[in-house]
Structure 1
Amino acid sequence: MQQKAPQAAAPQRIRIEATDASGSFSGYLALPASGAGPGLVIAQEIFGVNSTMREVADYYAEEGYVVLVPDLFWRQQPDVELGYSPEDWQRAFGFYQGFDEAKGMEDMQAAITALRQRPEVQGGKVGVLGFCLGGKLAYLAACRTDADVAVGYYGVGIDAALDEADKIKRPLTLHIAELDKFCPPEARDRIVAALKGRPGVSLHVYPGMDHAFARLGGEHYHKPSALMAHERSIATLKDAIGPHYDLSALWDKHCEYEFGTRNVDDTMSTMVAEPYVNHIPTMTGGVGYRNLHAFYSNHFVNSNPPDTSLVPISRTIGATQVVDEMLFCFTHTTEIPWMLPGVAPTGKRVEIPLLAVIKFRGDKLYHEHIYWDQASVLVQVGLLDPKLLPVAGIETARKLLDETLPSNTLMQR
Structure 2
Amino acid sequence: MQQKIRIQATDGSGSFNGYLALPKSGSGPGLVIAQEIFGINHTMREVADYYAEEGYVVLVPDLFWRQEPDVELGYSEADWQRAFALYGGFDEAKGMEDMQAAITALRQRPEVQDKKVGVLGFCLGGKLAYLAACRTDADVAVGYYGVGIDAALGEADHIKRPLTLHIAELDKFCPPEARDRIVQTLQGRPGVSLYVYPGMDHAFARNGGEHFHKPSALMAHERSIAALKGAIGPNYDLSALWDKHCEYEFGTRNVDDTMGTMVAEPYVNHIPTMTGGVGYKALHAFYTNHFVNSNPPDTSLVPISRTVGASQVVDEMLFCFTHTTEIPWMLPGVAPTGKRVEIPLLAVIKFRGDKLYHEHIYWDQASVLVQVGLLDPKLLPVAGVETARKLLDETLPSNTLMEKTR
State the TM-score, normalized to the length of structure 2. Answer: 0.98
Contact 1:152–1:174 under 8 Å retained in 2 = yes
Match of 1:8 in 2: none
Name the SS for the 1:341 alignment partner: coil
Structure-1 separation of matches of 2:237 and 2:51: 18
Name the SS for the 2:185 alignment partner: helix
CA deviations 1:93-146 (Å, max 9, x no partner) are: 000000000000000000000000000000000000000000000000000000
Note the residue ranges of structure 2 that are not aligned, 5 or more in a row.
Answer: none
Match of 1:71 in 2: 62
Tell me, yes or no, if structure 1 residue 111 matches structure 2 residue 109: no
Contact 2:142–2:165 under 8 Å retained in 1 = yes
Contact 2:3–2:20 under 8 Å retained in 1 = no
Structure-2 separation of matches of 1:335 and 1:256: 21
CA deviations 1:366-400 (Å, max 9, x no partner) are: 00000000000000000000000000000000000
Match of 1:390 in 2: 381
Name the SS for the 2:151 alignment partner: helix
Q: CA RMSD of the aligned region, Å? A: 2.5
Structure-2 separation of matches of 1:196 and 1:2: 38
Structure-1 separation of matches of 2:349 and 2:297: 24
Name the SS for the 1:146 alignment partner: coil
Contact 2:3–2:21 under 8 Å retained in 1 = no
Name the SS for the 1:292 alignment partner: helix
| C-alpha displacement of 1:233 | 0.2
Contact 1:3–1:265 under 8 Å retained in 2 = no
CA deviations 1:38-79 (Å, max 9, x no partner) are: 000000000000000000000000000000000000000000
CA deviations 1:288-318 (Å, max 9, x no partner) are: 0000000000000000000000000000000
Structure-2 separation of matches of 1:343 and 1:244: 43
Contact 2:299–2:320 under 8 Å retained in 1 = yes
| The one of 297, 301, 308 aligned to 1:310 | 301
CA deviations 1:11-47 (Å, max 9, x no partner) are: xxx0000000000000000000100000000000000
Tell me, yes or no, if structure 1 residue 179 matches structure 2 residue 195: no
Structure-1 separation of matches of 2:401 and 2:184: 49
Match of 1:255 in 2: 246
Tell me, yes or no, if structure 1 residue 322 matches structure 2 residue 313: yes
Structure-1 separation of matches of 2:308 and 2:17: 39
CA deviations 1:126-182 (Å, max 9, x no partner) are: 000000000000000000000000000000000000000000010000000000000
| C-alpha displacement of 1:222 | 0.1
Contact 2:172–2:201 under 8 Å retained in 1 = yes
Q: Structure 1 residues 2, 337: closer, same or farther in 2, change over 3 A?
A: farther
| C-alpha displacement of 1:2 | 25
Name the SS for the 1:16 alignment partner: strand
Structure-2 separation of matches of 1:3 and 1:251: 32
State the TM-score, normalized to the length of structure 1. Answer: 0.97
Contact 2:117–2:138 under 8 Å retained in 1 = yes
Report sequence identity in percent.
Answer: 92
CA deviations 1:218-264 (Å, max 9, x no partner) are: 00000000000000000000000000000000000000000000000
For these two proteins, the number of residue pairs brought into alignment is 404
Name the SS for the 1:347 alignment partner: coil
Contact 1:2–1:265 under 8 Å retained in 2 = no
Structure-1 separation of matches of 2:401 and 2:134: 59
Structure-1 separation of matches of 2:271 and 2:309: 21
Structure-1 separation of matches of 2:73 and 2:2: 39
Structure-1 separation of matches of 2:105 and 2:119: 13
Structure-1 separation of matches of 2:57 and 2:400: 56
| The one of 7, 16, 20 aligned to 2:7 | 16
CA deviations 1:344-366 (Å, max 9, x no partner) are: 00000000000000000000000
| C-alpha displacement of 1:3 | 26
| C-alpha displacement of 1:277 | 0.1
Name the SS for the 2:304 alignment partner: strand
Match of 1:232 in 2: 223
Structure-1 separation of matches of 2:231 and 2:302: 35
| The one of 189, 199, 207 aligned to 1:198 | 189
Structure-2 separation of matches of 1:16 and 1:288: 36
Q: List structure 1 segments (4+ residues) > 6 angstroms apart after TM superposition.
A: 1-4
Name the SS for the 1:252 alignment partner: helix
Contact 1:3–1:269 under 8 Å retained in 2 = no
Q: Structure 1 residues 2, 179: closer, same or farther in 2, change over 3 A?
A: closer
Contact 1:262–1:302 under 8 Å retained in 2 = yes
Name the SS for the 2:282 alignment partner: helix
Structure-2 separation of matches of 1:33 and 1:333: 42
Name the SS for the 1:226 alignment partner: helix
Q: What are the equivalent positions in structure 2 for 1:2-401 lying under 5 Å apart?
A: 14-401=5-392
